[in-house]
Amino acid sequence: MNWFKKLSLVTLTSAMVLGSVSFAPAQKAEAAVSGKISIMGSSALLPLSKQAAIEFKKKNPKVSITASGSSSIAGPQSVRKGIAQIGACDWDATKSKGGFSGFSGLVAHKVAIIPFATIVHPGVSVDSLTKSQLQGIFSGKYTNWKQVGGKDLEITVVNRAFGSGTRVNYQEKALGNASFKKTKNYVEVKSSGDMATKVKSTPGSIGYIDLVYVKSGLKALKFNGVSPTTSNVISGKYPVYGTGYYMTKGQPTGATKEFIKYVQSAKFQNGTLKKMKFIPISAMR
């Protein structure tokens, strides 16, 4: 083969290779997510919902998301009425719990494990209470901290209003379903934020809240000598916790479906969610 034939063969081969590259199928672009999502309900889950919304919107700027929190019962009620796409609730609202009947037609999506803590004003000297002592305080049997090993100081009980998922879980897990009793030093608040503010500003007060709200100005007590930490919940040592759900009317679609998938994703569950002192749903299966 002379040099001209060799050169022609090389040129033809190169053209065939280059041609195969240029005609390779292009990668399919990821479909853009758009739409409107309204989240209503649990104030315990509100910090998580707000942060998840911020992160999801960065990836999906065409999605509009709003999140508000009042009580767990307001979540499924809002979805049933059609004024919210997602109802945040501290229990599976398709089932009866805490005096509430299950909501038919709704679908429950598990999103987080929520540890709850007994909180007191920083001036309270007690560091740990037993279930029996808590029952005595919330039933009105004990009205002074000296009756449970503290200083001579009147106890002010701060309770969540009926309809609160935090109240339902705390009453079941910390108080063994013992009844609450309204005494002269008894106050009810509407949300987790209101609970934190009231206990922080009221000497001698006691209440309960999920861990994400336990910050400066509040003192979290041990329960039966065990600290309210995520690790103690996971190990089974600390029993005061609940499960958070996003409720939807039927199976979610579009932006709502993608948002719930994001919150349930390993990246969010093991990242942002854990940093906020919630527990990944996979840790408690």
Q: Which residues of 101-132 are buried (b: 16+ CB within 10 A; e: fewer)?
A: eebeebbbbebbbbbbbbbbbeebebeebebe
Verify that 133 and 228 share a domain, yes or no.
yes
The alpha carbon dihedral of 177, 179, 184, 187 has a sign of positive
246 C-beta neighbours (distance < 10 Å), count? 29
- More reliable by pLDDT, 150 or 22: 150
The answer to which of 2-16, 130-144, 206-220 has the lowest mean pLDDT is 2-16
Residue 14 lies in a domain: no
Strands 86-89 and 205-210: unpaired
Q: What is the mean pLDDT of the chain?
A: 91
pTM comes to 0.88
Mean pLDDT within 174-183: 95
- Structurally, the chain folds into a number of domains equal to 2
Residue 32's pLDDT is what? 74
Helical spans, DSSP H, in 211-273 = 230-235, 254-264, 266-268
Q: Are residues 130 and 267 in the same domain?
A: no
Query: If pLDDT is split at 50, 70 and 90, which confidence band does 96 have?
Result: very high
Q: What is the 3-state secondary structure (H, E, C) of 60-108?
A: CCCEEEEECCCCCCHHHHHHHHCCCCEEEECCCCCCCECCECCCCCEEE
Rounded CA separation 111/120 (Å): 28
pLDDT band per the 50, 70, 90 thresholds, residue 25: very low
- pLDDT bucket at 28, cuts 50 / 70 / 90: very low
Is residue 16 one of the residues assigned to a domain? no
Beta bridge partners of 157: 186, 206
Same domain, 199 and 269: no
Domain around 67: 35-113+242-284
For residue 15, pLDDT over 80 is answered with: no
Q: pLDDT grade, residue 105 (50/70/90)? A: very high
Q: Domain with 98 in it: what CATH number?
A: 3.40.190.10
In one-letter notation, the amino acid at residue 55 is E
Q: Read off the pLDDT band of 31 (50, 70, 90).
A: low
Query: pLDDT-derived band of residue 121, with 50, 70 and 90 as boundaries?
Result: very high
Contact 272, 51 (CB under 8 A): yes
Asked whether residue 279 is domain-assigned, the answer is yes
In a domain, 4, yes or no: no
Mean pLDDT (whole number) for 75-96 = 97
Q: What are the pLDDT digits (tens) for 248-265?
A: 999 999 999 999 999 999
**Span 126-148, average pLDDT:** 98
Structure tokens at 80: 């049933």
